[in-house]
Amino acid sequence: METLGTIARERLRLLFDGGCFTELDALRLEREDPAAVICAHGYVDGQAVCAFAQCPDISSGVMGKNTAGKIKRLYSLAAKTGTPVIGIYDSNGVYVDGTADSLTAYGKLIAVAAKLSGVVPQISVIAGVCAGSAALMAASADFVLMTQKAELYLTPPFDSGAEKPESAAKAGIAAAVCEDDTAVMEQAKAILRVLPSNNLAGAPVCEFSEPEEPCRSGVTKGLCKGIADADSVIPLYRDFGSSAGTALATVRGMTVGLVTTCRSEDALTAKDAAKMARFVRTCDAFSIPVITIVDTVGFAADNDAAKSGSLRALTQLCGAYAEATTIKIALIAGEACGAAFSAIAGRGAGSDYVIAWDEAAIAPMRPESAVEFLWHDKLKGAENTALKRSELAKEYKKTLASAEKAAQLGAVDAVISPADTRQAVCDALDLLEGKRVSGMPKKHSNIPF
């Protein structure tokens, strides 16, 4: 049987330390053939991990009752031991025999994975075809990674391109698309390296080196690299939502989640909100501190945004931040005006500590709009209205909308120079390390999905 399941075993060797793993239920059959999945446990960078890999060279990797039983057994062990689960998908579907057996098997697996969600990290690696019920199960993981040759779809795509990795990335399903099996396993290992093994365990403390350059005044793009340890940033969901960024990283060896809105020329859309909300909930599930870096013109407010469900998505974002009990630090590195400040950075968002650059602007509306609303009389009679408006906007940013004014009103905890950003973030993390929160008894919140 060693010759069967060769592709699956090779993928598992790429995942586990030294290519070594212990196989579970190795002799289980599906009808008269070996079950089309290899289940195993081993170590990834010294951390215990459970993994399964579907076998495209055994009955095209189709799922049956006994094959599902092997995976369910693996999930049971992961639940008992608090061990992360990696699922490697490459299958042409389920046995089609006219009965509900295969559908029931996948339904049970989806339920098991859902119950374990938020308990142990789950990563889905789509290395081949992943369709139908398998796609539902794979997409429910904390992170979905795909190779360039992978296909992911619920129903046949009919050459629409919807099954391609690029489509999954743009839809916010795939957190990253990698070139091949080797690259995607390295990405999975990089993510595992900074995650705790379960929701009751602390994240591993990683070795680190200081960033090469400090944060600089007026520069917000790439700010993550000035805060995080050198070479520690793992960008996720790059192709979903262009005005916000999400990444895992370490700060002095401590795992953090970075949420950035540092593209001040673009408003935040429904996709950006959904991207940030999901990422914050993932970090919160495993008590990973969230550092939100804010420089945004705010939320998109036009007919197209309304039609795309922006209000629903933004409500999800507000709920995700407010409900999260993990450490939440906000850094205002530019503009934080209107609902954007309230939703992701202010006290209403539950921020434990708010840091602002001394050049930041924090106000109910953007400076240009505030001038028209508050200082319209000062614009009257101006020979050059545009120039006068610009001058008044600068004055507004330095007075009513200044970081110092926000601090005087209790909306900001510390006003700093950009060069002091990393130290200020580190100090806030040290202060909040022992954070404890007790919530009201309830089953779950009921924000609109």
pLDDT of the residue at 104: 83
Residue 98, pLDDT > 60, answer: no
Segment holding 284, helix H or strand E: helix 270-285
Residue pair 331/425 in contact by the 8 Å Cβ criterion: yes
Residue 221, number of CB atoms within 10 A of its CB: 12
Whether domain 224-360+402-432 has CATH 3.90.226.10: the reply is yes
Task: Report CA-CA distances (Å) from 140 to 70, 113, 392.
Answer: 19, 8, 50
Give the residue among 52, 66, 193, 78 at the shortest CA–CA distance from 130. Answer: 52
Residue pair 249/265 in contact by the 8 Å Cβ criterion: no
Q: What does DSSP assign to residue 5?
A: T
pLDDT of the residue at 19: 97
What are the E-state strand segments in 78-138? 85-89, 122-126, 129-131
> Which residues have CB under 8 Å from 340's CB, separation 6+?
261, 268, 294, 296, 298, 299
Residue 64, pLDDT > 70, answer: yes
Measure the N-to-C terminal CA separation of the chain; round to a whole number of Å: 46
pLDDT tens digits, residue range 189-246? 999 999 999 999 999 999 999 998 899 988 888 899 999 999 999 999 999 998 999 9
Q: How many residues in the chain?
A: 449
pLDDT of the residue at 1: 43
Q: How confident is the model at residue 97 (pLDDT cuts 50, 70, 90)?
A: low
Residue 308 exposed, middle or buried by CB count within 10 Å (0-12, 13-18, 19+)? middle
pLDDT tens digits, residue range 6-33? 999 999 999 999 999 999 999 999 888 8
Structurally, what CATH architecture does the domain formed by 6-194 represent?
A: Alpha-Beta Complex (3.90)
Residues of the chain with CATH 3.90.226.10: 6-194, 224-360+402-432
Residue 264, pLDDT > 60, answer: no
Task: Report CA-CA distances (Å) from 184 to 155, 181, 235.
Answer: 25, 5, 14
Mean of all residue pLDDT scores within the chain: 91
d(CA 325, CA 327): 7
pLDDT tens digits, residue range 423-447? 999 999 999 999 988 888 988 888 8
The percent of residues above 90 in pLDDT, for the chain, comes to 68
d(CA 292, CA 297): 15
| Torsion of the alpha carbons at 299, 304, 308 and 312, rounded to the nearest 10 | 40
Residue pair 143/175 in contact by the 8 Å Cβ criterion: yes
pLDDT tens digits, residue range 23-61? 999 999 988 889 999 999 999 999 999 999 999 999 888
Comparison of pLDDT for 257 and 155, the residue scoring more: 257
